[in-house]
Amino acid sequence: MSLEPLDRDAARARLRSLAEQGLIDPSDLDTQLAALDAGDASALALAHHGYTAAGYREDDPMVISAGWSAQSRSGVWAVPPHLHIQAKASNVLLNFLQAQVSTPVIWVEISGAMGNVKLVLPDGWAVDADRVGAGMGKVRVRVSNQPAPGCPVLVLRGSLAMGNLRVRYGTRRELRRAAAAQQRRQAHQVGRGGRD
């Protein structure tokens, strides 16, 4: 979804107005404006309708919960600044290779029982896992704790009981697939004249 300049200006004004009225937390205004500038549909919805999708406030994170069935996110998806991963009795896989982010820091709360959590990151992204406690499971982080310029850092916190946490960069094969998918999306947009 692309925003026309007038739409973007009107949306920015609306977000500021909502913050002044106390309808959104003024401390979230900069985050919402950055998300809007990145073309995030949730920020646009907030500007037009006065609500925001889950994950754009600390007290309202996007919840990805694996009870008895596994949960995953992959492909193109919008990553909000606040996530809560619940690996209860099954596994959670978050593949960020084609993900779109609007903030330099993504706060990820992890709670687990018997499920495993696996995060697959693009090169340059980083993870700070110093706030994650492991019970009987293991925490394996095979990525940098310092992001490359322009890349985000995921700050993980919480605890696992019997499950494992694994964080790694994408494999060559996964990166090739992500690049091919990106090329197909771009070709599709060109074929449609750039319309979304």
What pLDDT is recorded for position 3?
A: 47
Q: Hey, how many other C-beta atoms are within 10 angstroms of the C-beta on 171?
A: 11
Q: What is the DSSP letter of 125?
A: -
* Digitized pLDDT (tens) for each residue of the chain, 196 residues in all: 444 444 778 888 888 887 777 667 777 788 788 877 777 777 777 777 766 678 878 888 999 999 999 999 999 888 989 999 999 999 999 999 999 888 899 999 999 889 999 999 999 999 999 999 988 889 999 999 999 999 999 999 999 999 999 999 999 999 999 999 888 888 877 776 655 4
β 117-121/165-169 pair status:
parallel
Cα–Cα nearest to 162, from 194, 124, 117, 105: 117
What pLDDT is recorded for position 51?
A: 66
What pLDDT is recorded for position 85?
A: 97
